[in-house]
Amino acid sequence: MAEYRNPVPTVDIIILLEDENGNVRKDEIILIKRKNPPYGWALPGGFVDYGETLEQAAIREAKEETSLDVTLLRQFHTYSDPSRDPRQHTITTVYIAKAKGTPHAQDDAKEIGIFNVNDLPQPIAFDHASIIKDFKNNVY
């Protein structure tokens, strides 16, 4: 019997914070510092659970890693380079979301920070530097 290997679906979320007037700050995003390999700073996100939609996964992962309840604004882009995750072939769908409040590192986030898109910490994990660059060039 043939064995089939398929890419694994994931989601990543570009979270923009709202100020007290409800204005979204597009020049700052939330990044988490990963507890587990591959180490580095990353967009909040993770694997899609069986029976879950991409949107449900994005909302869940954002809450698990940042403690924030997000509102998804739109689907941004899908990234599928087989080398984007050194652990295995993943395909990520990236969402842009907004949230109010102060993020707190949870789950597999060792630290959390709010960073200007033009002054990011290093190293950036996965292909997230490219994703953020695409965000800056297309949205910011």
Residue ranges of domains in the chain, CATH in brackets: 13-138 (3.90.79.10)
Place of tokens 């800056």: 136
Catalytically annotated residues: 111
State the pLDDT at residue 3: 86
Q: Which secondary structure element, helix H or strand E, spans residue 30, and what is its range?
A: strand 28-34
Q: Edge-to-edge strand order for the sheet containing 109-116?
A: 41-42, 28-34, 109-116
Question: Residues 135, 14: contact at Cβ < 8 Å?
Answer: yes
Give every residue of the chain whose pLDDT is below 70, as ranges.
Answer: 140
- Give the separation between CA 5 and CA 125, rounded to whole angstroms: 24
β-bridge mates for residue 8, sequence order: 90
State the pLDDT at residue 139: 77
